[in-house]
Chains A and B, each alone.
Chain A
């Protein structure tokens, strides 16, 4: 088949569509549902939890994040703009020296990262941080 201008245009459009057909991001309801699954719909306080994430991440494939919540039993991290909002859950055992942990995560684009800690008394606290991502970490 010879490449006419029409077929070339159609092929380019198809290629561009395939390139930009990135996974859809989670809806606000899905993010809320994921958070409720962890908290049971409890009220969220804001004291006693620290989330450290960069304001601008150059590469969404490895974004360093750090959570710290003294007295927490568990800390769960969510990414509101990823295809799947859940990121990681840290459960601290009796031999933990502090309720502090660091890891590296994938972020699909500019979005809010949310950390929620479950305290030993059963209350929940959360912290949020907006992260701008230059190169997304999903699909592609």
Chain B
């Protein structure tokens, strides 16, 4: 009897809590918190020869990005992310910043049509709207991931989406015959706002329609048009760039192995209305690929053709802007030499990255990216690709392999065409599994090799090679606390022509550049994971950039860095 009374009493006391947990909360929070402190110091001969730059400089910040999710009704969610930032060195708010990082709303109409407005993330196909990864980031050892996460987060890079302001809607129809499902998606975004006495407003509209059939055959059509609004400025010229991409895919099995075949093609047009000097160019592309996945790993084989005149604002915009100044030591040496964007900055500096779509082909550095500087949408390419992903040779060794062979379709400045080769290999060796150790012990290594060649007369020959060696060791001392060490060594040698383009992207000159450089990055320290999303790292980095054609401007720097990251 006593037990029954206790039982009823406990239920009565706990009832409100139980009741509360059954009611959905209208307001909830998420976000990210980060603390970063770094101290950079010149090293090597620069310490003696550079009497103008500071020997060392430190900086850092604390950031709290607080996201508020509010659902006034079940079908609508309003999201707002506010950043509170305090730079080190400021007390009582004199170096504090508050800014609105994101504001958007999304919802579902009649349980059928979903929509998003405000700051939205958009992605379509690799030829219409796609945010390609930055160069030399593929096959990067995991010890460098904290830098990559920091750079991507600050620049709103999420899984190849572009962050734009606009509205998006999508809906589906289920059917019961040969056609199983119809998916529709449409969006409109403002890429560039009105400028006082400047360029017209630039908008992007797009849509997708996908037919899924009952025999595993899917047909999709994707369209994007980037255009300027004539009435939004005093200019008489407006830009336009429609791109259409049609995809046909088929999924099947061959000898019990599933595979997927994708065939896609399309065209683009780009011009300037109202400008009699501007050319209108039309280009097309085609890609065919076969993908198969098994327990052992995944394999991809592909063929790609992209016309010289193919242009796509949404797919050919690059992440790295080589015209931006570097944050760390933008100028150095007594000659006040401007420090060019190098591997250090690509790895760790969010300020050299670009967040806006570009209507013209952005500059790139062939040293770091000569094969596909604009991703799959790089114009003037025809060739084959093959890659093997997550291939488990044994239960402690997995590898990834990639090979690409491309040729130009039209020679630049000559009838001789460039040939491009890329080979990449990544391996992960889990020594703890091999040696039956209790604590995690991983070795990672990767090689990325790119070559560009062109035959012909002496004045047009190209012979360029670049190779990036990366490696890392990660040993778990105690639970979740690891000692980490990593290295990247990059070599670039040879010559390559950089095309100089006018305002219409037409080539009007070339510069023949000679490269003979070596860059080294070494990192070592500790890393502790509270959870997968909450960790801190403290380490020492050593950077060296040597251009052997100009050894006087060698740059060496050491960095002590502490970073705490928490995803809420």
A, B from the same assembly: no
B residues at A contact (CB < 8 Å): none
